Amino acid sequence: MPRMLIILLVVLAVMALILAFLYYQGQKLQKKQAEAQENLQAQSQRVTMLVIDKKRMAMKDANLPSVVMDNVPKRYRRAKVPIVKAKIGPQILTLIADDEVYDRIPLKSSVKADISGIYITGINNYRKAPVPEPEKKGLLGRMRQKASASMKSSK
């Protein structure tokens, strides 16, 4: 047998072992994730909150409680997570949103959300608060306003 064929077979055997190990670990992690998701759903409660601000920021800059920061591994403290500041009752809280939910949360509006601890798992009912349009000031702003008014009247 040529030497290259033996090396090729050994490499293929090692790669097959690595793939089998990764498949096994993936199955194990998938089961853990399903259990964690079930726990989140079981402990969630629906609250009405007023969303003040939302942005993606590092966990260490988000003013999260010290208990949360102690339980987060050090390598994830710099990772950017979706943070929502909301007023729930008389308190203003900093919450972490799910990635799919974060995009649907409107700013400066009242939202009925499912919350599990400090984690927003879903939103159900929201209505956007009316925000007055700021007046344009200055010569350029007045010229734009007149131009848009004349375009509307000509149609």
> What's the pLDDT tens digit per position in 113-124?
999 989 999 888
pTM over 0.75, yes/no? no
Fold of 46-128: OB fold (Dihydrolipoamide Acetyltransferase, E2P) (2.40.50)
Which tokens hold the place of 31?
A: 């089961």
pLDDT at 68: 87
Mean pLDDT of 84-104: 91
d(CA 102, CA 122): 9
What are the angstrom distances between the C-alpha of 118 and each of 9, 47, 93, 144?
Answer: 52, 12, 8, 45
Mean pLDDT of 10-19: 97
For residues 139 and 133, the model is more confident at 139
For residues 13 and 100, the model is more confident at 13
Residue ranges covered by each domain of the chain: 1-43, 46-128
pLDDT at 136: 53
Residues of the chain above pLDDT 70, percent: 90
pLDDT at 65: 85
